[in-house]
């Protein structure tokens, strides 16, 4: 029994949440759309002025009375184009003006039921603002006007005895009917807001994707996807701090491909690019998860090793990288290349200047290349201990 009650309560809460979610929030209309709608509604308000004048005169009122009836819509319609107030104030001005037009029509008609339909039209029009302030002002003015006028001059707003006797009851009845008749407008408003929120969310998502893409491009090599020199510098700065705090060491490997120029000259840049991509993939696979491989440009790569306990750990990292890059590279199943690499290295503490670690490893790489040209083929890789 308790489980059934809990399930029923949960379903009721879910339905209530959906109902609350369906209620429009208001105020989400973009400024450009709001201005177009406000200008249109302001013009509709001003267009009522000659219509009210003509209708009043046709109903037999004096010219002065007709002008007095149209003066409030005229004043509010003119004021609606004043740009200094905010959106809320300007929309309330238009709402008040349009409701005053409804009041004049009902008054001049002698309380004809048909004239009351103008209230329904006005409230539907005001929902175009997609803002609760003008909408609720219109509903409130409708109720107040029907109640006050119903007390002071019941025949000017109602045309049946029960309303003459109970003006406030029928004022709320009319307000309820106007609100109920606006259900379609509120639904359209809610759907429009949902679409707007979805578009705004999608725009924000795309903006975040663009920002992430631009940030990635600024810190990564376009060809290989490896971090670039800028990101290596940031990593070394942070690594130096961590090494100083943990009393560990930082290792930097500077890698230069040995025969890359010959590959480019013999096979062209497309094959050269393919070699660089394979090299990047092999570096990623050869290093530890805590290390970082990067491409500085051309055929130069760097590996940053953190949390090293000494030279033996760095030597092990050099051997892993050397083994990976010493393997032949097959391109399109019909080209096999033996490229190889020379690996310079430097081992530093967290208190050493991190800014020159890449340069020191680069110098070591050139030293090894010079020794190899002198006939020593073994010097590029330290012997494991």
Residue 165, CB-side half-sphere exposure with 13 Å CA sphere: 3
- The reported pLDDT for the residue numbered 37 is 92
Q: Are residues 314 and 241 in the same domain?
A: yes
Counted domains in the chain: 2
Q: Confidence band (pLDDT; 50, 70, 90) for 191?
A: confident
Q: Once rounded to an integer, what is the mean pLDDT over residues 98-110?
A: 88
Average pLDDT over residues 236-249: 93
Residue 252 shares a structural domain with residue 143: no
Mean pLDDT, residues 236-248 taken together? 93
- Please give the structure tokens belonging to residue 208: 């975040």
- 211 domain-assigned: no
- In this structure, are 276 and 191 located in the same domain? no
- Together in a domain, 256 and 186: no
Nearest to 126 by CA among 40, 243, 64, 245: 40
Pair 46, 190 in one domain:
yes
| Domain assignment of residue 253, yes or no | yes
Residue 280 lies in a domain: yes
Give residue 5's pLDDT: 63
Residues 184 and 244 in one domain: no
pLDDT in tens, 275-318: 999 999 999 999 999 999 999 999 999 999 999 998 999 999 99
For residue 123, the SS3 value is helix
Q: In this structure, is residue 329 part of a structural domain?
A: yes
In a domain, 87, yes or no: yes
Write out the residue range of the structural domain in which residue 285 sits: 229-373
Which CATH number does the domain housing residue 272 bear? 3.30.70.270
Do 237 and 111 share a structural domain?
A: no
pLDDT of residue 358: 94
Q: Are residues 80 and 172 in the same domain?
A: yes
Task: Give 356: exposed, middle or buried? Use CB within 10 Å, 0-12, 13-18, 19+.
Answer: middle
In this structure, the answer to whether residues 27 and 163 fall within a common structural domain is: yes
Residue with tokens 């705004």: 200
Average pLDDT of the chain? 85
Say yes or no: 47 and 180 in one domain. yes
Tell me if residue 333 is catalytic.
no
- Whether 134 and 92 have beta carbons less than 8 Å apart is answered as yes
The residue with tokens 């302030």 is 133
Within a domain: 41? yes
Instruction: Please indicate, yes or no, if residue 213 is contained in any of the structural domains.
Output: no
Catalytic-role residue among 69, 221, 256, 299: 299
Tell me the β-bridge partners of 256: 300, 342
Q: Are residues 16 and 91 in the same domain?
A: yes
- Residue carrying the six token digits 């013999």: 266
The answer to whether residue 227 scores a pLDDT higher than 80 is yes
385 pLDDT higher than 50: no
Answering whether pTM is above 0.75, one says: no
- Considering the domain architecture, whether residues 284 and 188 belong to the same structural domain is answered as no
Where is 252: in which H helix or E strand? strand 249-257
Q: What is the mean pLDDT of residues 219-247?
A: 92
Q: 147, 180, 195: which is the final residue of a domain? A: 195
Note whether residue 141 is domain-resident: yes
**pLDDT, tens digit, 9 for 90 and up, residues 317-342:** 999 999 999 999 888 777 888 889 99
Query: Of 195, 220, 253, which closes a domain?
Result: 195
Q: What is the DSSP string of 273-332?
A: HHHHHHHHHHHHHHS-TTSEEEEEETTEEEEEEEEE-SHHHHHHHHHHHHHHHHS-EEET
Among residues 136, 169, 195, the one where a domain terminates is 195
């Amino acid at each position: 029994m308790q489980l059934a009650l809990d399930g029923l309560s949960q379903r009721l809460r879910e339905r209530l949440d959906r109902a609350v979610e369906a209620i429009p929030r208001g105020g989400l209309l973009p400024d450009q759309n709001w201005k177009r709608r406000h200008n249109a509604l302001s013009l509709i308000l001003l267009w009522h002025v000659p219509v009210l004048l003509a209708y009043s005169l046709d109903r037999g009122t004096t010219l002065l009375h007709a002008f007095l009836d149209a003066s409030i819509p005229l004043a509010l319609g003119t004021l609606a184009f004043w740009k200094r107030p905010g959106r809320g104030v300007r929309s309330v001005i238009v709402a008040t003006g349009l409701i005053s037009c409804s009041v004049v029509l009902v008054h001049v008609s002698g309380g004809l039921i048909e004239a009351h339909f103008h209230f329904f039209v006005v409230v539907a029009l005001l929902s175009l603002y997609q803002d609760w302030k003008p909408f609720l002002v219109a509903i409130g003015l409708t109720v107040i006007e029907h109640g006050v006028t119903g007390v002071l001059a019941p025949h000017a707003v109602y045309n049946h005895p029960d309303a003459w006797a109970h003006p406030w009851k029928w004022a709320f009845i009319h307000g309820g009917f106007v609100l109920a008749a606006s259900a379609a407008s509120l639904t359209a408003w809610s759907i429009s807001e949902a679409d707007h929120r979805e578009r705004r969310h999608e725009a924000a998502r795309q903006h975040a994707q663009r920002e992430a893409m631009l940030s990635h491009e600024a810190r990564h090599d376009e060809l290989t996807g490896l971090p670039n020199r800028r990101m290596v510098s940031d990593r070394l700065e942070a690594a130096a701090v961590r090494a100083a705090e943990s009393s560990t060491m930082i290792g930097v490997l500077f890698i230069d491909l040995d025969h890359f120029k010959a590959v480019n000259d013999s096979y062209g840049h497309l094959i050269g690019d393919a070699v660089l991509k394979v090299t990047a993939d092999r570096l990623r696979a050869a290093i530890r998860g805590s290390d970082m491989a990067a491409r500085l440009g051309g055929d130069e790569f760097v590996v940053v090793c953190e949390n090293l306990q000494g030279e033996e750990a760095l030597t092990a990292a050099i051997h892993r990288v050397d083994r990976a890059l010493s393997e032949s590279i097959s391109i399109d199943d019909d080209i096999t290349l033996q490229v190889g690499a020379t690996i310079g290295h430097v081992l530093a503490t967290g208190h050493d200047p991190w800014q020159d670690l890449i340069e020191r490893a680069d110098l070591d790489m050139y030293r090894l290349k010079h020794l190899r040209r002198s006939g020593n083929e073994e010097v590029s890789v330290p012997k494991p201990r």
